[in-house]
């Protein structure tokens, strides 16, 4: 939904981001650091030390005199370094919210003992990571054992653009040196104009904020203080990741050869993940923060939403028009149009009468379609509103000076639930249960949870005037409460000003005052960026408890670990070519953050996109993990059928997506079991090919399906990078591109076409598609097998996961799921394709079959022969067909010594996918070449 700013102020913020004051990145040395005064081993295999400040000063407040250092190799590939006040407990991300090992409790007895029993070893080695330190001034380094590379180094000398470590109550600073050729990714959420790689000099501020995604280089809806570092030394690539687990606001200054954190509270809690591959890094990261949530099958279908579906008949027309246009659609959404006065968990009795809505839902549910609605965290202050009454009775709201903190969002005056309070979690679950009894929704969309507030400061209800006033949603976004700024506390006006909203806005600006108080006295100052995360956990628990089904939740605000509970969309974007390009980088970043189910508003949220842009956007958005068209209240209608040209592009691109649903669902399973992103940068599969390290205009789905979209106006060609190897167009499998050492290729891309290529050595399971995923998933399967073009020898692999997607868990066992590994080989003129099935019962019960196998890139000519299935010869009288077709190469590609290659298609098959099978045939080899 549109953020708290109006259109005018949205653009004002955008202008300020370019022209406003920013904190200077010019180095200022705040302190003289600490000295290590003792260190000893702990009973659990870690080391515990104490640091004493060298020289105090009062810049940004007094230094904390004594710090506790704890270091532990928690796993073979994860190292933790935790630094906190040695004498007073400090705020940390709650351990019940993000479960992890606890560091040693503060204990002065240990300190006194360790002063006498210090260890002298200055290196602490694990399986792959080595922690080392210097005593005075204290600094530490993390090195990779296998190649000796220094991954993180906090030491400072006069030539460095940063100083020693600083640890004050409201200001922490620490830096690391970096090699100039390291490629860094992450530190979100922000819209990065320069692409996916971190760009030296750009501001990276982490603090959850409701300013729209049109704002560049500003802190947006989520906070993810983690980066991936990819290096290639002498042709050997290696990746690692660094997480600073801290929920307080922070600026991170990246200068190319160094990186500096400036944080306004909490502790220094670093986690280092050894990799060495990008995929291994995300695996290790999500092992700590939580594996991505399993998504129901329908969630991978196409979604349609709009803020401004004024009544139910409009929604019914949208569904009917998608069907008429033969464009796939799985999920229809409502923004707050269905609500009574914008109030959560209500229905507008006039525009969305319950009997008619229930009849509509019964109709769409009967064919497998789903319905999702929005809920915002702000609960309208209204004595006749049952949700509010029960909230007050259960004492669930965030408070300021003992009273529920008053704010304003769409319903007018609101209070915000405190999801750190166990009673709030119970109350929230009960409200969701009540609403589900009213309307059997299939998922929930939690928005505005940064948290967004149309007012700033401490507010009271106005006397003698209505608030808000006027028709439509517009007046609701203008603050009409009586408010005054709060600058009298050190929480509302901290000594160091982070670059909030790109303009150094006060940290309580358009959100909850940071001196407000949560459960157990927790300050909003510390917990602010956790709000959306804590709401996600509560919402997930509530939905899972309803019917025991797999929840689907879309959240705008996210934090470290949010992917365990929710999907994410990238917020309020614009219908511009620039925003189309930005969407790819943001999507790829969230895969690195462990939130793989992500996408942007297709065609842009506002203002109106051009017809050409909407054509090109659906050709990209059809391959987002989360694929949804969503538009603003004030924008013209932009459903994909509104333009016939866009409808044609949608039928083409979404038609392919629905054929690929088995592959996408298997990637969903891989994400849930290993953290692997669904959409990935090319360097995930080609980390030894440095040309793709900064590539932000193409992406992979899984390890081998590459999308190369048109991202510029007026273009009918696209210049795409092809890493070394053979690539096959999935829209026209005769089209082959073989890239010897990696190269750019100019591809034809007329208006309704998108280039999607499958890499060699892959086996891709597909189905026949359909207009609804429930129908599409019951169609016969085909397998696409790829070898290097002209291969006389090769191997290929693929896999497929199938399950009952209603079940909350996504795992093998119990007769509700099946997993198949596919293999293929070509050797000495014999081609073989076979499978190994685990837990075949579920697939067999659903009567799924393989109907066709297509093998690409084979060396040979003429008709293949001697077909065998499960060691049985197939004679000419069989209905099974075995055909070959020569493959084509672009005229401007240097083919070199590649032999003639062919496609072989075996059709008319009826192979149960739930049983092991083997199929083979002979190829006639031609040695003539071209």
Name the nearest CA neighbour of 578 among 461, 713, 726, 769.
713
Residue 471 has a pLDDT of: 67
Tell me how far CA of residue 100 lies from CA of 97, 644, 675, 809, in angstroms: 9, 53, 17, 22
Residue 674, pLDDT > 70, answer: yes
The pLDDT score that the predictor gives to residue 449 is 98
Polymer length in residues for the chain: 930
Tell me whether domains 33-212+219-276 and 297-667 share a fold. Answer: no
Which residues are 629's β-sheet partners?
304, 602
pLDDT of res. 468:
86
Distances (CA, A) of 263 to 66, 169, 173, 725: 18, 10, 6, 45
Residue 10 has pLDDT above 60, yes or no: no
| CA–CA separation, 289 and 409 (whole Å) | 31
**SS3 assignment, position 865:** strand
Catalytic residue list contains 76: no
Q: Which of 572, 601, 839, 859 is catalytic?
A: 572
Tell me what pLDDT residue 467 has: 87
The answer on pLDDT for 414 being more than 50 is yes
**Distance separating alpha carbons of residues 272 and 136, to the nearest angstrom:** 23
Q: Distance between alpha carbon 799 and the CA centroid of its chain, in Å?
A: 23
pLDDT of residue 107: 80
Q: What is the mean pLDDT of residues 526-550?
A: 96
pLDDT tops 70 at residue 762: yes
What distances in angstroms separate CA 502 from CA 13, 206, 286, 635, 656, one per listed residue?
8, 11, 30, 26, 40
Nearest CA-CA partner of 241 in 78, 368, 424: 78
Q: Which of 454, 436, 466, 476 is nearest to 347 (CA)?
A: 436
From 38, 35, 36, 37, select the one nearest 117 (Cα to Cα).
Answer: 38
How many CA atoms within 13 Å lie on the side-chain side of 705? Answer: 26
Fold of 33-212+219-276: Immunoglobulin-like (2.60.40)
> Quick check: helix, strand or coil at residue 766?
strand
Tell whether the model's pLDDT for residue 472 goes beyond 90: no
In tens, the pLDDT along 838-881 reads 999 999 999 999 999 999 999 977 788 999 999 999 887 789 99
Active site residue 795: no
The encoded tokens of residue 118 equal: 């210090």
Query: Using H for helix, E for strand and C for coil, what is the string for 833-862?
Result: EEEEEECCHHHHHCCCEEEEEEEEEEECCC
Distances (CA, A) of 270 to 245, 368, 685: 6, 45, 27
SS3 per-residue string spanning 295-336: CCHHHHCEEECCCCCCCHHHHHHHHHHHHHCCCCCCEEEECH
Structure tokens at 838: 């685990």
Residue from 128, 450, 601, 639 carrying the catalytic annotation: 450
Percentage of residues of the chain with pLDDT beyond 90: 87
Query: What would the two tokens of residue 41 be?
Result: 């081993």
Confidence of residue 474 (pLDDT cuts 50, 70, 90): low
**Tens of pLDDT along 166-220?**
999 999 999 999 999 999 999 999 999 999 999 999 999 999 999 989 999 989 9
Confirm if 924 and 862 have CB atoms less than 8 A apart: yes
Average pLDDT value over all residues in the chain: 93
Q: Report the pLDDT averaged over residues 381-408.
A: 97
- Helix ranges (H only) for 517-643 are 524-527, 531-547, 577-592, 611-621
Identify the residue whose tokens are 């809690």: 269
Spot the catalytic one: 40, 164, 210, 447. 447
Q: Mean per-residue pLDDT for 281-309? A: 98
DSSP label at 621? H
Task: Name the class of domain 681-923.
Answer: mainly beta
What would the two tokens of residue 807 be?
């079940």
Catalytic residue flag (residue 450):
yes
Topology of domain 297-667 in CATH is TIM Barrel (3.20.20)
Q: How confident is the model at residue 891 (pLDDT cuts 50, 70, 90)?
A: low
Q: What are phi and psi of 264, to 5 degrees?
A: -100, 20
Tell whether the model's pLDDT for residue 617 goes beyond 80.
Answer: yes
Asked if residue 576 lies in contact with residue 605, where contact means CB atoms within 8 angstroms, the answer is no
Instruction: Quote the CA–CA distance of 846 and 709 in Å, as a whole number.
Output: 36
- Rounded to an integer, the average pLDDT of 428-456 is 98
User: At 473, is the pLDDT very low, low, confident or very high (cuts 50, 70, 90)?
Assistant: low
For the beta sheet containing 370-375, the strands, ordered from the edge strand earlier in sequence to the opposite edge, are: 598-599, 567-569, 553-555, 443-446, 370-375, 331-334, 302-304, 627-629, 601-602
- Residues sharing a CB contact under 8 Å with residue 794, sequence separation 6 or more, in sequence order: 760, 761, 787, 788, 825, 826, 857
What is the rounded distance in angstroms from the CA atom of residue 3 to the CA atom of residue 409? 10
Task: Name 477's Cβ contacts closer than 8 Å, sequence gap at least 6.
Answer: 2, 4, 5, 6, 410, 454
Is pLDDT of 928 > 60? no
- Beta strand 129-135 with 250-254: parallel, antiparallel or unpaired? unpaired
The better pLDDT of the pair 114, 836 is held by: 836
- Nearest alpha-carbon partner for 42 in 92, 111, 89, 98: 111
Sheet architecture: strand order including 379-380:
379-380, 412-415, 407-409
The pair phi, psi for residue 337, each rounded to 5°, is -60, -30
Q: In this predicted model, what pLDDT tens digit does every residue of 145-164 receive, in sequence order?
A: 999 999 999 999 999 999 99
DSSP-derived 3-state class of residue 511: coil
Say whether pLDDT at 7 is over 50: no
Kindly state the average pLDDT of the residues 351-360. 98
Please report, for the chain, the start and end positions of each structural domain, with discontinuous segments joined by +.
Answer: 33-212+219-276, 297-667, 681-923
Q: Are 564 and 597 contacting, i.e. CB atoms less than 8 angstroms apart?
A: no
């Amino acid at each position: 939904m549109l953020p708290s700013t109006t259109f005018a102020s949205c653009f004002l913020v955008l202008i300020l981001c370019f022209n406003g004051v920013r904190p200077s990145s010019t180095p200022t040395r705040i302190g003289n650091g600490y000295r290590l005064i003792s260190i000893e081993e702990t009973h659990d295999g870690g080391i515990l030390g104490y640091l004493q400040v060298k020289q105090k000063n009062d810049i940004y407040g007094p230094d904390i005199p004594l710090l506790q250092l704890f270091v532990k190799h928690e796993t073979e590939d994860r190292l933790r370094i935790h630094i906190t006040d040695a004498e007073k407990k400090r705020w940390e991300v709650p351990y019940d919210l993000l479960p992890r090992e606890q560091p040693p409790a503060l204990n002065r007895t240990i300190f006194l003992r360790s002063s006498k029993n210090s260890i002298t070893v200055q290196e602490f080695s694990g399986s792959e990571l080595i922690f080392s330190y210097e005593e005075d001034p204290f600094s530490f380094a993390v090195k990779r054992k296998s190649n000796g590379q220094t991954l993180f180094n906090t030491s400072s000398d006069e030539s460095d653009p940063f100083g020693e470590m600083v640890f004050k109550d409201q200001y922490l600073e620490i830096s690391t040196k970096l090699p100039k050729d390291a490629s860094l990714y992450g530190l979100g959420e922000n819209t990065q104009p320069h692409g996916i790689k971190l760009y030296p000099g750009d501001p990276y501020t982490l603090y959850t904020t409701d300013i729209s995604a049109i704002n560049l280089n500003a802190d947006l809806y989520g906070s993810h203080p983690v980066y991936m570092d990819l290096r290639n030394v002498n042709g050997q690539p290696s990746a690692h990741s660094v997480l600073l687990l801290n929920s307080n606001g922070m600026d991170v200054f990246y200068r190319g050869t160094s990186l500096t954190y400036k944080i306004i509270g909490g502790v220094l809690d670093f986690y280092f993940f050894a990799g060495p591959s990008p995929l291994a890094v995300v695996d290790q990261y999500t092992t700590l923060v939580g594996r991505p949530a399993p998504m129901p099958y329908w969630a991978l279908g196409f979604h349609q939403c709009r803020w401004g579906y004024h009544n139910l008949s409009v929604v019914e027309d949208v569904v009917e028009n998608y069907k008429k246009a033969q464009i796939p659609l799985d999920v229809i959404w409502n923004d707050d149009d269905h609500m009574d006065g914008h109030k959560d968990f209500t229905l507008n009795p006039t525009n969305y009468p319950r009997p008619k809505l229930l009849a509509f839902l019964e109709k769409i549910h009967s064919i497998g379609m789903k319905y999702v609605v929005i809920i915002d965290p702000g609960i309208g202050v209204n004595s006749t509103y049952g949700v509010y009454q029960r909230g007050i009775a259960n004492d669930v709201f965030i408070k300021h000076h003992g009273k529920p903190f008053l704010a304003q969002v769409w319903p007018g005056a609101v209070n915000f639930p405190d999801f750190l309070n166990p009673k709030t979690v119970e109350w929230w679950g009960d409200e969701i249960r009540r609403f589900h009894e009213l309307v059997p929704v299939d998922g929930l969309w939690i928005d505005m949870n940064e948290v967004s507030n149309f007012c700033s400061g401490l507010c009271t209800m106005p006397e003698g005037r209505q608030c808000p006033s006027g028709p439509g949603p517009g007046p609701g976004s203008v603050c009409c409460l009586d408010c005054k700024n709060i600058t009298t506390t050190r929480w509302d006006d901290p000594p160091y000003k982070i670059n909030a909203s790109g303009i150094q806005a006060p940290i309580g600006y358009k959100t909850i005052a940071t001196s407000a108080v949560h459960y157990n006295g927790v300050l909003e100052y510390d917990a602010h960026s956790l709000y959306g995360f804590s709401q996600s956990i509560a919402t997930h628990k509530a939905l899972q408890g309803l019917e025991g089904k797999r929840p689907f939740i879309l959240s705008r605000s996210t934090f470290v670990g949010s992917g365990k509970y929710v999907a994410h969309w990238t917020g309020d974007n614009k219908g511009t070519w620039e925003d189309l390009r930005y969407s790819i980088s943001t999507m790829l970043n969230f895969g690195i953050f462990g939130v793989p189910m992500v996408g942007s508003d297709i065609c842009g949220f506002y203002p109106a996109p051009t017809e050409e842009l909407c054509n090109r956007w659906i050709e990209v958005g059809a391959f987002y993990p989360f694929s949804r068209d969503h538009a603003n209240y004030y924008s013209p209608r932009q459903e994909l059928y509104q333009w016939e040209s866009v409808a044609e592009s949608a039928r083409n691109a979404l038609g392919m997506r629905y054929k690929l649903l088995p592959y996408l669902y298997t990637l969903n399973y891989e994400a849930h079991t290993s953290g692997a992103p669904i959409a990935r940068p090319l360097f995930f599969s080609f980390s030894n090919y440095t040309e793709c390290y900064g590539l932000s205009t193409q992406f992979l789905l899984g390890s081998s399906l590459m999308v190369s979209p048109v991202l510029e106006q007026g273009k009918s060609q696209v210049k795409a990078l092809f890493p070394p190897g053979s690539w096959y167009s999935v829209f026209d499998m005769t089209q082959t591109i073989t890239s010897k050492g990696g190269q750019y290729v100019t591809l034809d891309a007329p208006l309704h076409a998108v280039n999607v290529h499958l890499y060699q050595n892959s086996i891709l399971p597909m189905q026949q598609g359909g207009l609804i995923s429930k129908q599409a998933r019951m169609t016969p399967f085909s397998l696409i097998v790829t070898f290097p073009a002209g291969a006389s020898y090769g191997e290929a692999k693929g896999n497929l996961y199938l399950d009952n997607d209603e079940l909350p868990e996504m795992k093998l066992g119990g007769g509700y799921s099946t997993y198949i590994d596919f293999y293929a080989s070509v050797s000495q003129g014999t081609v073989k394709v076979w499978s190994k099935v685990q837990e075949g019962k579920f697939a067999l019960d659903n009567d799924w079959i393989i109907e066709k196998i297509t093998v690409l890139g084979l060396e040979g000519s003429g008709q293949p022969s001697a077909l065998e299935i499960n060691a049985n010869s197939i004679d000419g009288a069989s209905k099974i067909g075995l055909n070959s077709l020569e493959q084509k190469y672009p005229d401007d590609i240097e083919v070199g010594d590649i032999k003639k290659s062919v496609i072989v298609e075996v059709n008319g098959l009826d192979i149960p996918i739930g049983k092991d099978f083997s199929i083979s045939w002979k190829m006639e080899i031609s040695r003539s070449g071209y």
